[in-house]
């Protein structure tokens, strides 16, 4: 004769099974939701101008992270700091990033816009990102010397002063090791080639890696 399970014990067993099933179902979306999001706000240097988008340094960053963080590339070729400042609030609301990379200013410089305007726009973007709970990494850029030493010095000083004032890490020059290498620049002399993109990522990585670690992303030692 088959042994009967007491009704109370059967209810307890069923309740326990349902509880475990619920915990499993909740764990999957929670893991996805907790994956840090990295928002890149840049211009053509981050939008992979003139090359395949998959070859750009932002795409290479996503590959290096191997799905441990979601990389959102909101870069637009020709973007100025004013355009980025106008777009950022909606992007922060939509994506709620934990890390924001600001790579803007090159087009401001090429158009001869006032450095004070660049400073105001970038400061507003840093403050808005921080208010939204995101860490900020500032990616600096330089302009050709033919714009004159006074303007050039005022332009590059913006990035250093903002980093110091707001306590954010700075990559002084995104195109370090690229800009003066003819083989790594496209024919226009302004945009890097596909071969230059790993160098750009390596310029960004030392400043970005600590921010990723702080968000719980375990990184291989070979990538430091």
The pair phi, psi for residue 39, each rounded to 5°, is -100, 125
The pair phi, psi for residue 216, each rounded to 5°, is 85, 15
Residues 204, 206, 210, 215, Cα dihedral to 10°: 40
Q: How many CB atoms lie within 10 A of CB 145?
A: 8
Q: Name the one residue in this structure whose structure tokens are 């709970």.
A: 133
Are 180 and 189 spatial neighbours (Cβ–Cβ below 8 Å)?
A: no
188 tagged catalytic: yes
Q: How many CB atoms lie within 10 A of CB 57?
A: 28
How far is the C-alpha of 87 from the C-alpha of 190, rounded, in Å? 24
**Catalytic residue selected from 11, 81, 191, 202:** 191
How far is the C-alpha of 171 from the C-alpha of 24, rounded, in Å? 42
**Catalytic residue selected from 43, 44, 46, 81:** 44
77 tagged catalytic: no
Helices (H), the chain: 7-33, 57-65, 81-95, 106-110, 115-131, 149-166, 197-214
Catalytic residues: 44, 188, 191
């Amino acid at each position: 004769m088959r042994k009967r399970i007491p009704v109370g014990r059967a209810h307890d067993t069923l309740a326990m099974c349902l509880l475990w099933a619920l915990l499993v179902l909740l764990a999957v979306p929670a893991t996805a939701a907790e994956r840090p999001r990295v928002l890149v706000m840049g211009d053509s240097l981050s939008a992979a101008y003139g090359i395949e988008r998959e070859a750009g340094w932002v795409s290479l960053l996503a590959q290096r992270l191997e799905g441990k963080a979601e990389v959102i590339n909101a870069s637009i070729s020709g973007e100025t700091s004013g355009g980025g400042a106008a777009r950022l609030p909606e992007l922060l609301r939509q994506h709620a990033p934990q890390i924001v990379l600001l790579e803007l200013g090159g087009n401001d410089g090429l158009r001869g816009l006032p450095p004070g305007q660049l400073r105001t726009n970038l400061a507003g973007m840093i403050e808005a990102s921080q208010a939204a709970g995101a860490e900020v990494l500032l990616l600096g850029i330089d302009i050709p010397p033919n714009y004159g030493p006074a303007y050039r010095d005022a332009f590059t000083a913006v990035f250093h002063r903002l980093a110091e004032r707001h306590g954010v890490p700075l990559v002084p020059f995104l195109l370090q090791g690229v800009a003066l290498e003819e083989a790594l620049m496209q024919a226009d002399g302004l945009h890097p080639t596909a071969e230059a993109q790993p160098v750009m990522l390596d310029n960004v990585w030392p400043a970005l890696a600590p921010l990723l670690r702080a968000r719980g992303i375990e990184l291989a030692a070979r990538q430091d």
